[in-house]
């Protein structure tokens, strides 16, 4: 098995089993063997079972060859005590206090097990509606979303996988305007992705510039009418501002509902690619398309024989997962077993195109996407039919669309295009169907060491063509694109396009090309440059509807504090650790310093932060807690270590990146009640004050400045360039892709 250094790093940190002391107890090979044996062992329950030893080897080879990988919970938990193998679930939220808090309880149980949750809040009566049992008034969906958000925050403090949520509200709900704006502040409802549930009536009203009705879900009465275009424009405005809300086309999703006799689909999983009925789970895996090629007559072509073999094995694997899984709730166990939905997807599509010398932004790429997904969808149905002959059709088959077709399948769905953030890092390929984010980037190996990471296909080609060198690759990393680099031949520039080169039209067209042959949905992010207009966003939303997509997520570069860019070399002002023969010794504290003191509200009260500088730059940090309680010793320790690092020559931006984003449970809890709190923890507050002093130095000469910076706004703000966000775990810049936030350096994901 050939794993990259980064793959090994992610496996050791997130996947490999550890003992009680945190020591790794298995190798990557051991992990794949554990998973293969656990999933194959399910064969014993069936009469016409395949040989478990042979099947174990088949599954093991498929994973160690990196031809197919299941979703992260399966890799993490198969054969281990937790045994929870599903990535995500959808829970119903009914219009009673009992049902609401049952949903919160169930979500907490799921998050504890490592799963994510999707909710529709469309059944809840609107804000201000009468509650007959008490004579009071309802607080509305958004109010309860904040309760769900706080519960998620509390649970995730003790887990290894973060609880992630999807919140959906129908566009005809009376509280839709409040919902659309509920994440206008990036500090609000941080544990949710949100999407507006778009109906056919609404989209038709937008196209005709008509009014549409808002309907009370409790009374079913029309309570108000709104101009559809104004509501649509508000959705666009918010998405342009920070990427949310996304939109899902609810009526279209339900047109494709494979089991309409069971009920209506109201929500999706957190990343939006898996529409699910209440209490269903998603059991996902992805085929590595970069491995589905063969070299023939001096070119790479798709190896359909190998692809079919992998599809059949993967469907078998995922169907077994359904039986082996230890579900967190009995309702989920029952519903999942009754419909047996699986979601086979792909990753490495961009790398496949590089091998085949096909530009991502081309009709040829769209044609290839259509052909490949047509083949996978057909083969997955054939595999499901073969399993049905041996094991029987799924129990709810009589209530499904397959009864009319007389298609006896084992699984209600077989295909999904899911995000593949961390598993694509393990496989060493591009994520999902996304274009490559960058051809080269600077990856952190240790706290003070960086390594230039170059796409292996691009590197091999550059070496063969004779233009590879580290200096040029760093320029590629800094630019994020090959455009404007005269050292690189034009034919290479045409093929090796990245996300920055891909116009929104091609993003949506590619999503639509795959969606035509996918049972569930396609996780995809349309990345816009910072200069994109609201009209650009509006056009993409309408294109997604016209082209047959089930939903769409967009992100405009630099539009929120979790900045997408992960390119460029930020080490220009750093000390080169490798060139030092002796240990670093911090310079002496100067006799005279100047600086600022800022009062910041944290969970424990007021924290007074002093940042001082001299002629050589920022040199020290002090903190003082305004009242008794809290954790003054930890704040002091952070300040002392920060001061030592600053006087040792550590890059200030690097230091800020390490501290910013650290969360404190006390502060997070208090944020819900105290709007004065704009930070996540004491270290986060320290980082933000340091950042303000950095900005002062950029804007003016601090030696000539007598005024304090604005002390009121210390929230999650982007810097002057809009590029502040870093991974909360390793400090690297992060990417927006496939409806999620991914760190390519350490494998951190917003959804995991």
Q: 3-class DSSP state for residue 540?
A: helix
Q: CB–CB of 626/606 below 8 Å?
A: yes
Asked if residue 739 lies in contact with residue 419, where contact means CB atoms within 8 angstroms, the answer is yes
> What is the C-alpha to C-alpha distance for residues 258 and 317, in angstroms, rounded to an integer?
21
Query: In degrees, to the nearest 5, what angle opens at C-alpha 227 toward C-alphas 225 and 230?
Result: 135
Contact of 669 with 603, CB cutoff 8 Å: yes
The 3-state DSSP class for residue 317 equals helix
Cα 68 to chain center, whole Å? 20
With beta carbons less than 8 A apart as the criterion, state whether 512 and 549 touch.
Answer: yes
CB 172 within 8 A of CB 214: yes
- Residue 136: count other Cβ atoms within 10 Å of its Cβ: 9
Q: Point out the catalytic residue in the list 88, 271, 619, 727.
A: 271
Q: Is 169 within 8 Å of 176 (Cβ atoms)?
A: yes
Of the residues 273, 434, 620, 654, which is catalytic?
Answer: 273
- Among residues 666, 669, 650, 647, the alpha carbon closest in space to that of 658 is found at 650
Q: Is 434 a catalytic residue?
A: no
> Strand, coil or helix: what is 371?
helix
- Provide CB contacts within 8 A for 429, sequence distance 6+: 66, 288, 289, 290, 347, 348, 351
Give the C-alpha separation, 359 to 374, whole Å: 20
- Who's near 81: CB < 8 A, 6+ residues apart? none
How many separate helices (H) and strands (E) can be counted in the chain? Answer: 25, 26
Bridge partners (DSSP) of residue 692 are none
The residue with tokens 């310079």 is 587
**Exactly one of 77, 149, 165, 269 is catalytic; which is it?**
269
CB atoms within 10 A of CB 204: 12
Alpha-carbon gap, residue 164 to 156, rounded angstroms = 9
Q: How far apart are CA 54 and CA 679, in angstroms?
A: 54
Burial class (CB in 10 A: 0-12, 13-18, 19+), 151: buried
690: CB partners within 8 A, 6+ apart = 611, 618, 621, 642, 652, 655, 656, 659
Q: Which of 397, 393, 389 is nearest to 48 (CA)?
A: 389
Question: What is the DSSP annotation of 387-432?
Answer: HHHHH---GGGGGSTHHHHT---S-S--B-B---HHHHHHHTS--T
Residue 285 to residues 111, 233, 346, 418, 492, Cα–Cα distance (Å):
20, 37, 8, 8, 32
3-state helix, strand, coil in the chain (%, to 5): 40, 15, 40
Name the residue with tokens 């070496």: 463
Burial 478-497 (b: 16+ CB within 10 A, else e): ebbbbeeeeebeeebbebbb
Identify whether 269 is a catalytic site residue. yes
Reading the block at residue 702, the tokens are: 């601090």
Strands 343-347 and 284-288: parallel
Sort strands 525-528 and 246-249 into parallel, antiparallel or unpaired: unpaired
Known catalytic residues are 269, 271, 273
């Amino acid at each position: 098995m050939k794993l990259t250094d980064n793959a090994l790093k992610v496996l050791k940190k997130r996947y490999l089993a550890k003992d009680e002391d945190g020591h790794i107890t298995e190798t990557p090979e051991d992990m794949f063997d554990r998973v293969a044996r656990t999933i194959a062992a399910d064969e014993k329950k069936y009469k016409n079972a395949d040989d478990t030893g042979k099947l174990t080897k088949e599954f093991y080879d498929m994973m160690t060859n990196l031809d197919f990988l299941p979703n992260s919970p399966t890799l993490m938990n198969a054969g281990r005590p937790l045994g929870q193998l599903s990535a995500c679930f959808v829970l119903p939220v009914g219009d009673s206090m009992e049902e609401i808090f049952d949903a919160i309880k169930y979500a907490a149980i799921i998050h504890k097990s490592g799963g994510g949750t999707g909710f529709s809040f469309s059944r809840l009566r609107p804000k201000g509606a009468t509650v007959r049992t008490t004579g009071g008034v309802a607080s509305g969906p958004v109010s309860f979303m904040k309760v769900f958000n706080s519960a998620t925050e509390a649970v995730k403090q003790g887990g290894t996988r973060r609880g992630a949520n999807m919140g959906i509200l129908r566009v005809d709900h009376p509280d839709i305007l409040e919902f659309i704006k509920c994440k206008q502040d990036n500090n609000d409802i941080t544990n949710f992705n949100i999407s507006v549930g778009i109906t056919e009536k609404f989209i038709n009203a937008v196209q005709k510039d008509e009014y549409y009705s808002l309907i009370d879900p409790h009374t079913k009465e029309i309570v108000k009418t709104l101009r559809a275009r104004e509501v649509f424009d508000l959705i666009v405005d918010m998405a342009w501002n920070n990427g949310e809300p996304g939109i899902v086309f609810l009526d279209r999703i339900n047109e494709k509902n494979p089991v309409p006799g069971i009920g209506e689909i109201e929500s999706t999983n957190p990343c939006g690619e898996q529409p699910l009925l209440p209490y269903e789970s998603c059991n996902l895996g992805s085929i590595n398309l970069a491995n589905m090629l063969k070299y023939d007559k001096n070119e790479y072509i798709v190896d359909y024989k190998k692809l079919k073999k992998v599809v059949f094995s993967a469907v078998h694997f995922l169907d077994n997962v359904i039986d082996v899984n230890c579900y967190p709730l009995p309702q989920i166990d029952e519903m999942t077993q009754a419909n047996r939905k699986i979601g086979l997807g792909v990753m490495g599509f961009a790398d496949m195109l590089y091998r085949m010398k096909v530009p991502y932004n081309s009709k040829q790429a769209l044609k290839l996407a259509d052909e490949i997904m047509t083949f996978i969808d057909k083969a997955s149905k054939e595999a499901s039919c073969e399993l049905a002959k041996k094991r029987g059709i799924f129990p709810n088959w009589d209530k499904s669309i397959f009864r009319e077709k007389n298609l006896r399948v084992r699984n209600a769905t077989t295909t999904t295009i899911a995000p593949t953030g961390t598993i694509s890092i393990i496989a060493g390929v591009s994520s999902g169907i996304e274009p490559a984010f960058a051809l080269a980037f600077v990856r952190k190996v240790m706290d003070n060491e960086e390594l230039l990471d170059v796409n292996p296909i691009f590197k091999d080609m550059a070496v063969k063509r004779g233009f590879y060198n580290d200096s040029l690759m760093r320029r590629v990393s800094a630019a994020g694109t090959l455009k404007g680099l005269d050292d690189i031949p034009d034919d290479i520039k045409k093929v090796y396009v990245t996300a920055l080169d891909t116009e929104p039209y091609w993003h949506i067209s590619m999503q639509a090309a795959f969606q035509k042959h996918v049972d569930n949905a396609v996780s995809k992010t349309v990345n816009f440059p910072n200069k994109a207009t609201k009209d650009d966003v509006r056009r993409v939303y309408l294109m997604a509807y016209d082209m047959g997509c089930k939903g769409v997520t967009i992100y405009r570069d630099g539009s929120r504090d979790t900045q997408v860019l992960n390119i460029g070399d930020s080490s220009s002002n750093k000390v080169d650790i490798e060139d030092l023969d002796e240990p670093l010794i911090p310079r002496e504290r100067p006799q005279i310093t100047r600086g600022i003191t800022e009062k910041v509200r944290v969970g424990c009260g007021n924290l007074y932060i002093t940042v001082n500088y001299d002629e050589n730059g920022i040199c020290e940090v002090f903190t003082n807690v305004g009242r008794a309680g809290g954790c003054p010793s930890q704040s002091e320790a952070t300040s002392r270590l920060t001061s030592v690092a600053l006087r040792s020559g550590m890059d200030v931006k690097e230091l800020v990146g390490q501290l910013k984003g650290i969360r404190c449970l006390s502060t997070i809890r208090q944020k819900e009640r105290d709007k004065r709190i704009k930070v996540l923890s004491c270290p986060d507050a320290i980082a933000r004050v340091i950042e303000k002093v950095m900005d002062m130095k950029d804007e003016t000469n601090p030696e000539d400045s007598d005024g304090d910076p604005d002390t009121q706004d210390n929230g999650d703000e982007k810097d002057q360039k809009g590029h502040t966000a870093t991974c909360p775990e390793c400090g690297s810049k992060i990417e927006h892709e496939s409806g999620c936030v991914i760190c390519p350096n350490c494998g951190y994901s917003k959804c995991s």
